[in-house]
Amino acid sequence: MKVLTVVGARPQFIKAIAISAAVARRDDMEEVLLHTGQHYDDNMSEVFFRDLKLPQPKYRFNLGGGSHAEMTGRQLIEIERALKEEAPDICLVYGDTNSTLAGALAAAKLHIPVAHVEAGLRSFNRRMPEEINRVLTDHVSRWLFAPTQTAVENLKREGVDPASVHCVGDVMYDVSRLIIDGTVSRTVIVDDLALPRGGYAVATLHRQENTDDPQRLEAILTALGELSRRMPVVLPLHPRTAKAVEAQRLSGHLAAIRAIDPIGFFDMATLLADARLVVTDSGGLQKEAYFHRVPCVTVREETEWVELVEMGWNRLPESISRQAILAAAEAALASGPGADASPYGDGNAAELILDAIAATG
Ligand code: UD1
């Protein structure tokens, strides 16, 4: 069985390693990797292929940048060409980026069954490009691999055939366990940045609704600046955010914060392992904070990972204002650990995904 996997953005390279490694262990499957080039900077892309030992893509395009329609349209054309050339049995896509939607749509129109890893997540906010990508991808997919029971329920409400939905857990947990279990050694980043173990915050910011709204961006950066009076705040800066900070002339707000270039996965996992607090608008980091049992404040109005809010590990500020973000951070620091449960499976999501595909393919 030949699987063509489409990746393009940072979180997909990380998720792909779990499944690529599991495919390599089987003799009934082969994988061809296609990289759209949505993310192209070395520290947003190549570092993950090196660190995670992800196989080099057979197809590598340069289809990042431009408007959503331009990016998705160019991706559709090239992915369709590759699908015709390879004639895979399955097209596998991850998450909710423009590359996800382009891969799923191109394959579905060629009648190549689509497997969607991270299916059923919903923010119920259709102003987010990611929400549009998720909903559309789910509805053209043959296999919907849900990371949580909440995601299964979301799909049920939308009338998706239950036979195509498989609750397998989160592939991000598979990958995070490499560091948590010590299979991969921690890096030296905490010492390199001279951070006090257990006494610093890790922040990330890249959502369009935060970066492209000057008031919100300023509110978040001001809150992080104030938090850094209490503890060092490390902020690996996404290129979108770096551009927005410059365009909106907010560079002064970075002075108090330890803004650094984007870092590799194992550096991030090492930073999280010794952090006191996470402040983020990333979907992935909310869960990774929990895997490392670090409290998290999510600077958005809603989250797809509602379990973590219910369990007390994650907090949403009452609004995206300086005061509300700081209040949420204070509450997170003051509270004890949240509930202990395993809403994201047992760390064997990749194996379950391949078993399900092999059984019904
Ligand atoms: C994308 C995904 C988002 C995912 C995130 C992870 C969509 C709609 N959004 O958002 O779901 O959570 O990736 O990081 O697909 N840029 C660079 N260098 C790079 C990559 C991007 O300079 O290596 C620039 C782009 O040219 C663009 C901006 O950063 O100006 C944003 O990149 P884009 O790919 O549009 O979306 P992300 O914000 O990364």
Token reading at 116? 């969607």
Q: Are residues 238 and 133 both part of a single domain? A: no
Q: Which amino acid is at 15?
A: K
- The stretch 172-181 carries a mean pLDDT of 94
On whether residue 181 sits in a domain, the answer given is no
Q: What is the pTM of this model?
A: 0.95
On whether residue 246 sits in a domain, the answer given is yes
On whether residue 178 sits in a domain, the answer given is no
Best residue among 240, 245, 261 to mutate for probing ligand 1, ranked by most atoms within 8 Å of CB = 240
β-pairing, 277-280 with 258-260?
unpaired
pLDDT tens readout for residues 210-257: 999 999 999 999 999 999 999 999 999 999 999 999 999 999 999 999
Catalytic residue flag (residue 292): no
User: Alpha helix locations (H) across 140-213?
Assistant: 149-157, 171-180, 189-192, 208-211
Whether 118 is in the pocket of ligand 1, judged by its Cβ within 6 Å, is no
Residue pair 130/123 in contact (Cβ under 8 Å)? The answer is yes
CA atoms within 13 A on the CB side of 193: 27
Q: Are residues 243 and 354 both part of a single domain? A: no
On whether residue 182 sits in a domain, the answer given is no
Q: Are residues 150 and 37 both part of a single domain? A: yes
Q: Are residues 197 and 159 both part of a single domain? A: no
pLDDT tens readout for residues 75-84: 999 999 999 9
pLDDT at residue 70 tops 70: yes
On whether residue 175 sits in a domain, the answer given is no
Instruction: List, in sequence order, every beta strand (DSSP E) within 40-121.
Output: 59-60, 90-94, 114-117
pLDDT at position 360: 86
Q: Are residues 350 and 325 both part of a single domain? A: no
pLDDT tens readout for residues 93-148: 999 999 999 999 999 999 999 999 999 999 999 999 999 999 999 999 999 999 99
Closest residue to atom 5 of ligand 1, CA basis: 9
On whether residue 184 sits in a domain, the answer given is no
SS (H, E, C) 20-34: HHHHHCCCCCEEEEE
On whether residue 176 sits in a domain, the answer given is no
Best residue among 101, 206, 268, 305 to mutate for probing ligand 1, ranked by most atoms within 8 Å of CB = 206
Among 39, 166, 206, 292, the active-site one is 206
pLDDT at position 263: 97
Q: Are residues 93 and 49 both part of a single domain? A: yes
Distance (angstroms) between ligand 1 centre and the Cα of 337 equals 33
Whether 40 is in the pocket of ligand 1, judged by its Cβ within 6 Å, is yes
Query: What residue numbers bound the domain in which 22 lies?
Result: 2-170+345-360
Token reading at 229? 């009076």
Q: Which residues contact 197 (CB under 8 A, 6 or more apart)?
A: 190, 274
User: Which of ligand 1's atoms lies nearest the C-alpha of 283?
Assistant: 12
pLDDT at position 152: 98
Domain count along the chain? 2
pLDDT tens readout for residues 252-282: 999 999 999 999 999 999 999 999 999 999 9
pLDDT at residue 361 tops 80: no
DSSP bridge partners of 297: 279, 315
Q: Are residues 107 and 51 both part of a single domain? A: yes
On whether residue 231 sits in a domain, the answer given is yes
Q: What is the CATH number of the domain that holds 304?
A: 3.40.50.2000
pLDDT at position 326: 98
Distance (angstroms) between ligand 1 centre and the Cα of 43 equals 13
Q: Are residues 278 and 216 both part of a single domain? A: yes
Q: Are residues 106 and 152 both part of a single domain? A: yes
| CA gap 197, 195 in Å, rounded | 6
